[in-house]
């Protein structure tokens, strides 16, 4: 079974998602829940989701959260949409934009489709924390600094910024000598992006940066410096 929520009003879409989930869990309290985003999704799991069973009941409730951001993932899912629609599990797709062809596919197989667009107002778009990792990967010092300031204005904590940058460095190191995503332990989307960023850093630089970020965190805990000051210094030094 497929539900599709899509449209430009992402705040209302997520509220609708939570309302839908509450309703489904009232009917299926023992169902297992899975949320997949572009950052943690593995295309090989589509068949597992289609035919899988929950721990206590023959049901999964699966949220596919903006997976169409990645073209390869989108194409893989669209090819499997018919099988997904016939699954005993419940699939909820949350997307911001769909073209006419994509929407036609969903109209053919979805149980329910709801479009939620902004009406007569400009929505403040939620800050995308992964934009920081992209700027870091490109080694765009100025861009990363500007995005860091925007993150702070959007109430993203310094700890979150530190954590996402460290995650990207670690992903790039894991991709260095891996022949494919499976060997690296990363999902294919993250692996492909990390590989693309490797041209901007040497292996020794990445290991040094990793060590610097670890020290930065512990020194902040010890009160040697403030996290925001240390992060700015780190960003301006990449």
Could you tell me the CATH number of the domain that includes residue 143? 1.20.272.10
Q: Is the pLDDT of residue 99 over 80?
A: yes
pTM for the complete prediction? 0.56
Give yes or no: residues 102 and 159 share one domain: no
What string of DSSP letters covers the chain? -EEEEESS-HHHHHHHHHHHHHHHHHH-TT-EEEEEETTT--GGGHHHHHH---SSSS-EEEEEESGGGSHHHHHHHHHTHHHHHHSSSEEEEEES---HHHHHHHHHH-SEEEE----SS---PPP-THHHHHHHHHT-HHHHHHHHHHHHHTT--HHHHHHHHHHHHHHHHHHTT-SSHHHHTS-HHHHHHHHHHGGGS-HHHHHHHHHHHHHHHHHHHTTSS-HHHHHHHHHHT-
Q: Is the pLDDT of residue 64 over 50?
A: yes
Q: Is the pLDDT of residue 120 over 80?
A: no
Give yes or no: residues 72 and 144 share one domain: no
What string of DSSP letters covers 64-83? EESGGGSHHHHHHHHHTHHH
pLDDT tens digits, 13-56? 999 999 999 988 888 888 888 888 877 788 777 888 887 654 44
β-sheet bridge partners, residue 34: 62
Percent of the chain beyond pLDDT 70?
95
> What is the number of structural domains in the chain?
2
The more confidently predicted of residues 42 and 163 is 163
CATH number for the domain including 56? 3.40.50.300
Give yes or no: residues 18 and 108 share one domain: yes
Give yes or no: residues 141 and 181 share one domain: yes
Give yes or no: residues 175 and 102 share one domain: no
Do the domain assignments include residue 124?
no
Name the residue range of residue 91's domain.
2-115
Give yes or no: residues 59 and 151 share one domain: no
Per the prediction, the chain carries an average pLDDT of 88
What's the confidence (pLDDT) of residue 127? 83
Domain endpoint, select from 55, 87, 115: 115
Copy the structure tokens of residue 72: 């390869």
What is the distance between the alpha carbons of residues 173 and 170, in angstroms, rounded to a whole number? 5
β-sheet bridge partners, residue 64: 36, 93
Give yes or no: residues 198 and 147 share one domain: yes
Do the domain assignments include residue 123?
no
């Amino acid at each position: 079974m497929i539900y599709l929520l899509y449209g430009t009003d992402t705040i209302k879409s997520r509220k609708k998602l939570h309302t839908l989930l509450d309703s489904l869990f009232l009917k299926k309290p023992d169902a297992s829940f899975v949320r997949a985003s572009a950052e943690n999704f593995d295309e090989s799991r589509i068949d597992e989701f289609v035919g899988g069973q929950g721990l206590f009941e023959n049901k999964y409730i699966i949220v596919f959260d903006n997976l169409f951001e990645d073209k390869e993932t989108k194409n893989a899912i669209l090819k499997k949409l018919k099988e997904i629609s016939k699954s005993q599990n419940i699939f909820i797709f949350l997307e911001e934009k769909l073209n006419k062809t994509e929407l036609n596919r969903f109209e053919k197989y979805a149980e329910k489709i709801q479009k939620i667009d902004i009406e007569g107002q400009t929505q403040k778009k939620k800050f995308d924390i992964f934009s920081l990792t992209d700027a870091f990967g490109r080694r765009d010092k100025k861009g990363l600094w500007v995005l860091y300031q925007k993150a702070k204005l959007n109430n993203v904590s310094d700890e979150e910024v530190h954590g996402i940058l460290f995650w990207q460095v670690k992903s790039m190191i894991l991709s260095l000598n891996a022949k494919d995503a499976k060997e690296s332990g990363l999902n294919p989307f993250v692996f492909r992006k990390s590989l693309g960023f490797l041209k901007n850093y040497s292996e020794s630089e990445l290991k040094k940066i990793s060590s610097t970020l670890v020290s930065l965190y512990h020194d902040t805990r010890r009160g040697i410096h403030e996290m925001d000051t240390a992060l700015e210094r780190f960003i301006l030094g990449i």
